[in-house]
Structure 1
Amino acid sequence: TVVFERQLLLANVTSSKSEHGRLIYTGNLAKTVLGVKFFSYSTSMFSLFAMPYILLKSGVGTQSLALQIAFCGIVGFFTFITPVALHLITKGYVVRLYHNTETDTYTAVTYNALLAEKKTIFHQGDVKIPGISKMFTTFYANRRSMLVNPMLFPHPNDYSHLMGYDQPFSFDLEEIKEPKKGQHLK
């Protein structure tokens, strides 16, 4: 059944064309990311609207103004920091990736802070691979971090082309031995 599902996914991705080109990647956590962000936003809104009621009706169970301020500060901190942290972690998660072979451009679809789809269009030449592996970054496109799972590309050649692994390369030993003026080895 796993092989059949993979073949079905491959057939759907191969035949899917849109105004942005051919669909070459679909993130398997798209609904999860959207659901977690929505849940975080809704609980933060609930906390924001419930906090005045809690303070006015119950008084937080203490008469000490310092403890009430500390309680409000802690609840307020987590009310705002959780959605912000979730957005910063998931903002580069690619939901769908399209490739237009005529112009050799890619369109990455991610979610913005308002849970709407955001499209980032870039050329293969704009892709930079981080020198050191980053936790939530597979590559940078126009200095924007993107996160994809290489195993979810139905055609491995699409991933290879995206990352520039299909480009010819050469080793110039003279450049390695003697850097140009003003250039330092890292």
Structure 2
Amino acid sequence: MKLDSVKAAFGICDSGNDMSRRFRDTTQPFCNLVDAVAMAAPDVPHQIYKGMLTKQVKAVKTFSFGTSLIGIGMQPILYEHISAPESSLPLMVALYSAVGIFTFVTPFLIHFVTKKYVTDIMFDPATEQYQASAYKFFPIKRKITFKLEDITVPDVPGAFTTLCVKNIPLLCSPSDFLYPKHYIKFMGYDKPVDYQLSTPKEQNKDNTKS
């Protein structure tokens, strides 16, 4: 009985293709509305990119600085043990080296890996300006304001580099764009392809010069 009422509500009959056609015709406006809402962008400044690893990057940097502070606090204790005559010098040197690595080397290494990671990007339709955020050496965000003409895509991307903004290498994940059309613009996929093929006249000029 419930199935019959559902069929009646959607105007579905049991005649094969006719049932599919009527169901599609009935639900198509709703599907179009869902697609329009999903793809429509507001006319006010809004977020177009949200880095999936933002929380993890901040947590790692915060933990690294926490261990560095602990290591700095341990320096007087280690120095006292090294100064003791009965202490084993090789053991203390190894311990001091390990603490020094976690205290000073690890934060710089983590910063080298994460400094290019984009945490979020805002877009202002009125000015057509973007504002990307990335973490500084300390877990504090820096803002980079730019326009499309400030973006360059290197022919051979470096390590952890997707594109460059004002000669600043940045790392973005295509799947983290809330509005994929901006990623298409960033990468220049909306522009005609230039195969950089020379014409016969240009080839003759090159041969003449050589």
Structure having the higher Rg: 2
> Comparing 50-59 with 105-114, which one deviates more in the overlay?
50-59
Partner of 2:176: 152
> SS where residue 158 of structure 2 aligns?
coil
Task: After TM superposition, list the pairs within 5 Å mapping 1:108-127 onto structure 2.
Answer: 108-127=132-151
> Comparing 27-36 with 69-78, which one deviates more in the overlay?
69-78
8 Å Cα contact 1:62/1:68 also seen in 2 = no
8 Å Cα contact 1:54/1:60 also seen in 2 = no
Amino acid at match of 2:103: T
TM-score by length of 2: 0.67
Q: Number of aligned pairs? A: 168
Q: Matches of 2:144 and 2:57 in 1, distance apart?
A: 18
TM-score by length of 1: 0.75
Q: Matches of 1:63 and 1:171 in 2, distance apart?
A: 69
Q: Which has the higher contact order (CA 8 A, sep 6+)?
A: 1
1:172/1:89 Cα in 2 relative to 1: closer, same or farther (>3 Å)? closer
Q: Kindly indicate which of the two structures has a greater share of residues assigned to helix.
A: 2
Q: Is 1:32 paired with 2:56?
A: yes
Task: After TM superposition, list the pairs within 5 Å mapping 1:16-55 onto structure 2.
Answer: 17=44, 21-55=45-79
Partner of 2:108: 84
Partner of 2:188: 164
Gaps of 5+ in 1: 1-6, 182-186
Q: Is 1:130 paired with 2:154?
A: yes
Question: Deviation at 1:71?
Answer: 3.8
> Comparing 94-103 with 164-173, which one deviates more in the overlay?
164-173
